[in-house]
Amino acid sequence: MSNDDNTFSVEQAEESSGFLLWQVTNLWQREIRKTLEPFDLTHSQFVLLASTHWLSLQGQEVTQIVLSSHTKIDPMTTSTVLRTLQGKGFLARKEHTTDTRAKTVALTDQGKEIIKPAVVAVETFDREFFAKLGHQTAQFNQELLTLLGNKTQ
C-alpha cells in the first residue's frame, strides 16, 4: 500500500485467496447460469436434480436430509427448491419406508428427460472451464476437498 492505512494485510488484491475465489466463483456461476438457461433450471435446481439422479444410481434411498448433506445446501433451501421441482413435474415425493417423518425423493420420467442433457451440458462446460488447469485439475479438486473439510484420497 502506498499510504499509512494498514487496513489490508496484502499489497495487491491478487494476493487475497478469498477475493480470487469470489471472482472465480462469480465467473463460473455466471457461465453455469447461461449453460442451464435452455433447460429452465436454476443452478440450485440443477444440483438437487443431478444429486437425486446420482444418489439413486448409487442405490441410495434419497431424502431431503440426504440431499441437503450431499449438496451442502441448507435444509430449508433444499425443501423450497424440491417443492419447486415437484411443481415443475421433475420430482415425486413418497412416504419413506421406515421413517414416517421423512419422504423419499425420486425423479419422474420428465425429470430424467431434463437432467440427462443438462448434466451433459454442465459437464461439457466444466471440462472447458477447468481445462486451463491442465494436469493440475486433480490436485485442484483435492485442494477443494481440503477446504470442504473432506479427507484427500
Distance CA 31, CA 90 (A): 23
Q: What is the pLDDT of residue 77?
A: 96
- Provide the whole-model pTM: 0.85
DSSP H or E segment with residue 106: strand 103-107
Closest CA to 86 of 70, 71, 106, 101: 106
pLDDT digits (tens, 9 = 90+) for 21-41: 999 999 999 999 999 999 999
3-state DSSP assignment of residue 21: helix
Q: Predicted confidence band at 151 (pLDDT cuts at 50, 70, 90)?
A: low
pLDDT at 94 over 90: no
pLDDT digits (tens, 9 = 90+) for 31-68: 999 999 999 999 999 999 999 999 999 999 899 999 99
User: Nine-digit cell at 106?
Assistant: 425420486
Q: Are 61 and 103 in contact (CB under 8 A)?
A: no
pLDDT digits (tens, 9 = 90+) for 97-150: 777 777 899 999 999 999 999 999 999 999 999 999 999 999 999 999 899 887
Q: For the CA atoms of the chain, what is the radius of gyration?
A: 19
Distance CA 90, CA 22 (A): 31
